[in-house]
Amino acid sequence: MEPIKITLVIQIAAVGLLVAVLQTVLEQAGKGEWAMAVTVAGLIVVMFSLVELITSLFDAVRAMVQF
Amino acid sequence: MNIVQVVGFTLTCSLLLVLVRRGSESMGLLVSVGATGVILTAVVAELPPILGALEGLSARAGVQAIYLRTVLRVIAVAYIVDLGAQLCTDVGEGALAKNLQLAGKVIILTMAVPIIVSVADVIIQLLEQVSGS
């Protein structure tokens, strides 16, 4: 009975909200191109932690059904 | 894996998703992928005893291990493909989801070909016996 890792999802959501707020602020300040850059940076950061999770999940599945 | 825990986690994730989606759609997709991954990791950790029982049963019934393994593989691929397609549909990419489903069907078919061939072999042998006698 391993506990569910809720911290990861909260982390991702926090990054998402932060990016959304930054985007709004930067667009209000008239820096649309920076807003885009911030969004892409946030996406990449989150993706790195997700890749780890998905890799471990697929490894577990693969070990289970013996691909 | 505690069912109350899972339900609470899923509801919390839904709440977070509603919040994040309003900010940016792409982050919403990432949050839902993360939530899916976490839930599935917890689910997969519970599966080995069930699979062990299934393997024991099939061994007692005299089914060859490779058939059960193929079926399990097909189920795994079906689940993963369906999950990916659902995530694509959620962000409005229905066409990509359909492509993914097609790919999944082809992959499942390639895995099932040995079984189909062996079934056809059995049928052909039966037919030859019937026509021979």
* Residue A50 to residue B69, Cβ atoms within 8 A: no
Cβ-nearest to B19 among A13, A56, A57: A13
Q: Supply A6's token pair.
A: 């809720």
* Residue A13 to residue B76, Cβ atoms within 8 A: no
**Does A44 touch chain B if contact means CB atoms closer than 8 Å?**
no
- What's the whole-number average pLDDT of chain B? 90
CA-closest candidate to residue A42, choices B14, B26, B37, B33? B26
Report the pLDDT averaged over residues B69-92. 91
Report the pLDDT averaged over residues B59-71. 87
Structure confidence at residue B123 (pLDDT)? 94
Give the ipTM of the model, two decimals please.
0.80
Structure confidence at residue A67 (pLDDT)? 58
| Band of pLDDT at residue B133, cut at 50, 70 and 90 | low
Cβ-nearest to A53 among B5, B37, B44: B37
* Residue A4 to residue B28, Cβ atoms within 8 A: no
Structure confidence at residue B21 (pLDDT)? 87
Instruction: Domain ranges for chain B, please list them.
Output: 1-47, 64-133
Report the residue of chain A nearest B11, measured CA to CA: A6
Tens digit of each residue's pLDDT (9 = 90 or more) over B19-64: 888 888 888 888 999 999 999 988 888 888 998 899 899 999 988 8
CB B9 within 8 A of CB A26: no
How distant is the Cα of A14 from the closest Cα of chain B, in angstroms?
9
CA B48/CA A8 separation, integer angstroms: 25
Structure confidence at residue A49 (pLDDT)? 87
Report the residue of chain A nearest B9, measured CA to CA: A6
pTM: 0.80
Structure confidence at residue A55 (pLDDT)? 92
| B6 chain-A contacts, CB cut-off 8 A | 4
* Residue A20 to residue B2, Cβ atoms within 8 A: no
Mapping DSSP to helix (H, G, I), strand (E, B) and coil, where does residue B87 land? helix
Instruction: Domain ranges for chain A, please list them.
Output: 32-67
Mapping DSSP to helix (H, G, I), strand (E, B) and coil, where does residue B64 land? coil
Tens digit of each residue's pLDDT (9 = 90 or more) over A26-56: 888 888 788 888 888 988 999 998 998 899 9
Q: Looking at the predicted structure, is the pLDDT value of residue B81 above 90?
A: yes
